[in-house]
Amino acid sequence: MSRKGEVQINNAPVDLISAAKFAPKTNQFLLVSSWDTSVRLYDVTNNTLRHKFFHTSPVLDCAFLDSVKTVSGGLDNGVKLYDLNTHIEFSLGNHDAAVKCVEFSTMVNGILTGSWDRTVKLWDARERECVGSYEQSGGKVYAMSCMEEKLVVATSERKVLIWDLRHMANYIERRESSLKYQTRTVRCFPNKEGYVMGSIEGRVAVEFFDLNAEVQQKKYAFKCHRAKENGVENIYPVNAISFHNRYNTFATGGSDGYVNIWDGFNKKRLCQFHLYDTSISSLCFSDDGSTLAIACSYMDEAEQPPEPYPVPTLYVRYVSEQEARPK
């Protein structure tokens, strides 16, 4: 069901949506990966599916290199380049286990992949080759984010590793996650001051890079995506975080089916959208912050799946200033 300021996108994937990413510098083209093995390109302005291609297994993440080239990876362990203009695909290489995270860094013109094989790999986008493989001392890669030279990797053993992409031989820092439970998502602040993490236990942590004691005192964690029913608190995973590039505010999506927008610096919730069909599995603001892609997919959280079984849905919401700007 679409609401005012929001459009439901036609021809959504038929299985869990793992990632939705806007093309750089546009709010028109959206790349979506899914457990149905597809990667799809949508023209959200005209609400049409422009193109789709397939992996041999579920796809766990995808990213744009530029407006026409994409990279994706998943349970087949492979990293696939795809040109949306020529429809030519190219296998970049493999990890020894599933590729969980894919990012593109314009700063080093490199593709970054994080895997359950406990490595991060850096691939040269032009030469189409792996130029570095970096062992994780913190476990499987569960979430990853880069902003200019900074790379943040969150792992299965509640570790957070911070790299400088210009000197990848060693990470700058290895931190213990301030969240007690498994990390689901991590995103860097657009202003490069820090990062935000979400866990399966309905908590978000706001962290800062600068190790100065005064700056570190600003870090905090807060509870969200929780609901009381008959005196019992139900706790839902925080699955997705996306930043508004202009305001440094961020949206969180949870398994409670809600999307919240937060002002992390002033510790305030700015707004909450209506209840969606099922869990929010991915979120992405467009570069200009005018549009938010919202992917809804049931993520097998309950012992008994709901009846009828929720169908994956995809929305774009045209976000107002008042919803995203700090008050």
Domains of the chain, first to last: 6-322 (2.130.10.10)
Distance of CA 106 to the CA centre of its chain: 18
Give residue-wise pLDDT tens across range 127-148: 999 999 998 777 999 999 999 9
Contacts of 213 (CB under 8 A, 6+ apart): none
Average pLDDT of every residue of the chain: 95
Mean pLDDT, range 170-176, rounded to an integer: 93
Residue 300 has pLDDT above 90, yes or no: no
The whole-angstrom separation of Cα 79 and Cα 90 is: 9
pLDDT at 307: 87
The whole-angstrom separation of Cα 312 and Cα 316 is: 14
Residue 190 has pLDDT above 60, yes or no: yes
Task: Say how many CA atoms lie within 13 Å of 88 toward its Cβ.
Answer: 3
Distance of CA 293 to the CA centre of its chain: 11
pLDDT at 302: 79
**319 DSSP 8-state letter:** -
> Angle at Cα 79 formed by Cα 187 and Cα 241, nearest 5°?
15
Residue 149 has pLDDT above 90, yes or no: yes
Q: How many CB atoms lie within 10 A of CB 233?
A: 10
pLDDT at 1: 52
Let me know if 231 is exposed, middle or buried by CB neighbors in 10 A (0-12, 13-18, 19+): exposed
Give residue-wise pLDDT tens across range 24-75: 999 999 999 999 999 999 999 999 999 999 999 999 999 999 999 999 999 9
The whole-angstrom separation of Cα 211 and Cα 25 is: 33
pLDDT at 70: 98
User: Amino acid letter at 141?
Assistant: V
Mean pLDDT, range 107-135, rounded to an integer: 94
Residue 166 has pLDDT above 80, yes or no: yes
Mean pLDDT, range 159-175, rounded to an integer: 94
The helix, strand and coil proportions of the chain, stated in percent and rounded to the nearest 5, come to 0, 55, 45
The tokens describing 211, both together, are: 């190790």
Q: Which of 264, 287, 270, 279 is nearest to 313 (CA)?
A: 279
Q: Which residue matches tokens 């398994």? A: 255
The whole-angstrom separation of Cα 61 and Cα 303 is: 26
pLDDT at 229: 86
Distance of CA 45 to the CA centre of its chain: 22
Mean pLDDT, range 91-107, rounded to an integer: 97
Residue 12 has pLDDT above 60, yes or no: yes
Instruction: Look at 271 and 228; give whichever has higher pLDDT.
Output: 271
**What pLDDT band is residue 245 in, cutting at 50, 70 and 90?**
very high
Torsion of Cα atoms, 25 then 4 then 309 then 75, to 10°: 0
Residue 175 has pLDDT above 80, yes or no: yes
Q: Give percent of the chain with pLDDT exceeding 90.
A: 90
Helix (H, G, I), strand (E, B) or coil at 169: coil
The whole-angstrom separation of Cα 106 and Cα 252 is: 25
Mean pLDDT, range 124-129, rounded to an integer: 91
Contacts of 161 (CB under 8 A, 6+ apart): 136, 137, 138, 152, 153, 155, 171, 173, 174, 175
The whole-angstrom separation of Cα 68 and Cα 87 is: 10
Instruction: Look at 284 and 138; give whichever has higher pLDDT.
Output: 284
**What pLDDT band is residue 2 in, cutting at 50, 70 and 90?**
low
**275 DSSP 8-state letter:** -
Instruction: Write the DSSP string, 172-197.
Output: SEEEE-SSSS-EEEEEE-TTSSEEEE
Residue 279 has pLDDT above 90, yes or no: yes
The tokens describing 125, both together, are: 């986008």
